[in-house]
Amino acid sequence: MENDGEEFKVSASGFVSKKVGKIRDHYRIGKVLGSGAFGEVRLCLHKDTQTQRAVKVLRKNLLDDKEMDMLKNEISILKNMDHPNIVKMYEFLEDEKRIYIVTEICKGGELFDEILNRAKFDEKDGAIVMRQLLSAINYCHKKRIVHRDLKPENMLLEQDKDLEKLKIVDFGTSLSFDPDRALDEKLGTAYYIAPEVIKKNYNEKCDLWSCGVIMYILLSGEPPFNDPKADNEAIMKKVEKGKYDISKGVWKTISKEAKDLIKKLLTFKPDDRISAEEALQHPWIHDFKVEVDTDAASNALGNLKNFRGEHKLKVATASYIGSQLISKSEKEKLGKIFKALDSNGDGKLSKEEILSGYEEHFGKLLNEDEVDNLFEIVDTDKNGYIEYSEFITASMSSKKNMSEEKLTAAFKLFDSDGNGTISADELKQVLSSSGKISDKGIEEILKQADENNDGEINFAEFCNLMAEVDLNK
């Protein structure tokens, strides 16, 4: 990037914003996908890119003050989530009567329904599910977020029967936690709630108990604290005792490694309970390897190595396209590669993971200088790791994704007043929300693209700049 004395940072979360205007200005609203007490989830079509998304429609008159606070909290948390196993929020809108939350669409339904269909999972499929769940929870806990309501109903499959594309949803009861302060609000679902939550004295380890319950259900087909005739209070009394059995029936056929992990997750005392990071290194999880297409990995990692970031506006535009507009098929391929490289499952890539992954999937060694240079360019938020969206942006094909329709959508992002040009103020508005940039930096970006020197960037100038440099060369 230009040496202008400032560090330009771009974050995918900066592009998740409150949209101005009516929902139907931006989307065609389709069929109902699901409904609840406060509203419904509908299929929708993004008009600019013709991509399908899901929109949660919530009626404000049905929400009391506490529920409205929970909704605002969920939006705030989802906005900053950047993990392949956490549902992606694109934007949110509000009118007089409703609030709209637009997310990626998951057509495969709830994991709960898949459990009902299968009765129980074999250990390979169970490990596929648990690795994704634990990775998402590890990521959340590293960001000091506790979910507090993990259950198969809050885990969606992107595609029917495809267990490798799992998404965690419903962060309404989630919150930021202080590791030095205990939580005391009793909430959650009876079968999955941790004993310490019932006692109103708990920390983020409550999520790991819920993970243990989910794993138990996956492998056996029933909850550890089950009583078909009991109500929620009776179930929670069983949970409080924390006694379960993994010695009889189907458990005789389950491996000792699987049972060992369940014991470590369903450890009664939170201080003795395994963390998400530790669980991901457990042999039952760690020995499961994500398989990737070697050709796709080579192409992606080649793009990653050759990514160029000299043009700030182009990098910002590519980041927006990579986080919001990339095709579902390409994102799925790149997401699988990301998971394969993410050997410790924390939802981000370290220099060590890039070094070992490049050798394994690209068949070539990188030296430390090459990796340092790669991180200098690709790590656009400068946190010392390559985040999920950063990886997608840098490893996608820039030529394929700089299409006219996607550039039109990106241009509209910057052209907030819709007058057909991007002013300095509009540039600063978008770029300062996604990163950090000075007035001098804005001036330099304008100079790069403003061919007629009128102080603004029109669509033709914007497209010319985007076409000028291939980011993968």
Q: Point out the residues that are catalytic.
A: 149
- Sort 137 into a burial class: Cβ within 10 Å, 0-12 / 13-18 / 19+: buried
Our CA angle for 49, 53, 54, nearest 5°, is: 155
Q: Checking DSSP bridges between strand 39-46 and strand 51-59, what pairing results, if any?
A: antiparallel
CA 363, CA 358: separation in Å to the nearest integer? 7
Q: Which amino acid is at 348?
A: K
- Write the DSSP string, 291-322: ---HHHHHHHHHHHHH-----HHHHHHHHHII
Q: Please name which of 87, 98, 94 lies closest in space to residue 39, comparing C-alpha atoms.
A: 98
Q: Nearest 5°: phi and psi at 20?
A: -90, 140
Whether 380 and 9 have beta carbons less than 8 Å apart is answered as yes
Q: Checking DSSP bridges between strand 98-103 and strand 51-59, what pairing results, if any?
A: antiparallel
Inter-axis angle of helices 294-306 and 388-395, nearest 10:
90
At CB < 8 A and 24+ separation, what contacts does 350-358 make?
350/384, 350/385, 351/375, 354/386, 357/301, 358/301, 358/305
